[in-house]
Chains A and B, each alone.
Chain A
């Protein structure tokens, strides 16, 4: 080291009698608190797993009657939803997928550029204002998004496309695109910041411009993290209910284009659960099963991406 250290007293390895006694007592004691906490942690973890299991069980148990009445094919590919006779949810599957994908198409580029701005371009002071603002977006209740969509987006869609009713897939896509921003931005920014500093330095030291560095080194290196953010964004969009009900029109017919009214899987459950009975009620649980399958596929994708990152 650079400074010369002067030693004032001889160092000693011997502890005083009191300290020795306390250490010995501690060594012989059974540490109950340690055991207690171990089981407390385990119990807490178990509660989460148990809940997932229970929800899955009830969905399947309640959804089975409608599924066996209609058959998987008729249920998933059926075009008509006329409870309690016809239980085809293909239009809703399409509506859920299209609205989520549309939200990704519009939202992800914006989110990605924002994440790059926050991680690489913005001066610290600007980033410190933009980042909390984006995080606030995540905290806004979805009913407020729905309200915003109803008052601003729906009339806007009516005007721009010159249609009588703006409650459409298009309106839902725009609202969802805004809703997934905070998720995708936060995760992408984290992924970009996790790229080793040495990559960036190596690139700049070769005379590459900051933009070349971002697009050729940082983004590819952060790819799997960014994709994980996108997947979580899709999951958020597929699961969204309230805002969608308020802006998408909720017609159970197959939407023919983006300016059609449509009903998502989530909206189907939320809107009819209050009065449905018998097979009709069961069919709503089955809709829940389909939704769960989608989410499981997305989570599996996420697991796969994370494994790739760890490699």
Chain B
């Protein structure tokens, strides 16, 4: 069962043809890794999945991206789409407010005021992001007081607090040290049971460790995609071969 279906997707930043005829199915409740050298379009593709590219001026998109069979670019309620498709960014970006308010933010944005409901959602989300035990005694503390890895897990908690179906992760561990990275990867092992995860990563080892499917990008093109083991063990394309062997990139 495919969660997303990307069909003949082209994306232009002004004159720059950033994504060229992408066709990619993204299966439900699996981890799909997008890999490739810098500037190859993998983050751009990720941001088409929750329409974050809408924020950039002069972006033109052709083709279509469907979520559960519905074209998301025909969708009028972009906020609703983004509730279903959560996102975690490269650099942890908690809001300048308390830990509690960070997690409650998405609920408050939907007009939910009932304190009991929010309390429960906050606790569940923090437990889900494996952060509850570390912060339960200081929920009112400022989010900036947390370490980088904790901040990133807070951002994951913030995302899962509103019950998304998909979590997009844009190099979620590239700003973190190895131990914090390990914790996030452990967390992803849990999250994969409930969510469809799409992750952009620069680390081929990370892609190997955590993903079921891998898609390799090269200068705006999707070179190859398939089972992660197959991509790494018997790549079909010369460029994939060179990239996964670490010859360049």
Q: Which residues of A contact B (CB under 8 A)?
A: 1-2, 4, 124, 196, 198-209, 212, 216-217, 220-221
- Sample of 27 A–B contacts (CB below 8 Å): A1-B37, A2-B219, A2-B249, A4-B248, A196-B93, A198-B91, A200-B55, A201-B93, A202-B89, A202-B93, A202-B94, A203-B95, A203-B105, A204-B52, A204-B55, A205-B50, A205-B89, A205-B159, A206-B106, A206-B158, A206-B162, A207-B82, A207-B83, A209-B79, A217-B95, A220-B97, A221-B96
From B39, B40, B96, B106, give the contact of A208 (CB < 8 A): B106
Given contacts A2-B219, A205-B86, A216-B109, 10 further A-B contacts (CB under 8 A): A2-B40, A2-B218, A201-B89, A203-B109, A205-B87, A206-B106, A206-B109, A206-B162, A208-B109, A212-B109
> Nearest Cβ distance between residue A90 and chain B, in whole angstroms?
43
B108 within 8 A of A: yes
From B50, B81, B95, B110, give the contact of A202 (CB < 8 A): B95
> Nearest Cβ distance between residue A242 and chain B, in whole angstroms?
42
10 tightest CB-CB pairs across the interface, nearest first?
A207-B83, A208-B109, A198-B93, A205-B87, A206-B106, A207-B82, A2-B37, A207-B79, A202-B93, A212-B109
Chain A interface, DSSP helix/strand/loop, else mixed? helix
**CA A216 to CA B95, docked complex, whole Å:** 10
Decide if A207 touches B55 in the complex (CB within 8 Å).
no
B70 within 8 A of A: no
From B37, B82, B219, give the contact of A206 (CB < 8 A): B82
> Nearest Cβ distance between residue B14 and chain A, in whole angstroms?
13
> Nearest Cβ distance between residue A221 and chain B, in whole angstroms?
6
> Nearest Cβ distance between residue A198 and chain B, in whole angstroms?
4
A199 touching B93 in the complex, CB below 8 Å, given contacts A4-B248, A204-B55, A208-B106: yes
Inter-chain contacts of A198 with B (CB < 8 A) = 89, 91, 93
Chain B residue nearest in CB terms to A199 = B95
B147 within 8 A of A: no
Interface residues of B in 89-136 (CB under 8 A from A): 89, 91, 93-97, 105-106, 108-110
Decide if A205 touches B52 in the complex (CB within 8 Å).
yes
From B37, B91, B95, B109, give the contact of A207 (CB < 8 A): B109
Inter-chain contacts of B106 with A (CB < 8 A) = 206-208
0/1 interface trace, chain B 135-154, chain A, CB 8 Å (1 if under): 00000000000000000000
Question: How many residues of B sit at the interface, in one of the four size bands?
Answer: 35 or more
Inter-chain contacts of A221 with B (CB < 8 A) = 96
Inter-chain contacts of A207 with B (CB < 8 A) = 79-83, 106, 109-110, 162
B38 within 8 A of A: yes
B155 within 8 A of A: yes
0/1 interface trace, chain B 160-181, chain A, CB 8 Å (1 if under): 0010000000000000000000
B15 within 8 A of A: no
B57 within 8 A of A: yes
**CA A98 to CA B109, docked complex, whole Å:** 38
Inter-chain contacts of B95 with A (CB < 8 A) = 199, 202-203, 217
**CA A103 to CA B57, docked complex, whole Å:** 37
**CA A132 to CA B7, docked complex, whole Å:** 44
> Nearest Cβ distance between residue A306 and chain B, in whole angstroms?
17
Chain A residue nearest in CB terms to B77 = A207
> Nearest Cβ distance between residue A284 and chain B, in whole angstroms?
48
Decide if B86 touches A206 in the complex (CB within 8 Å).
yes
Inter-chain contacts of A199 with B (CB < 8 A) = 93, 95-96
**CA A200 to CA B55, docked complex, whole Å:** 10
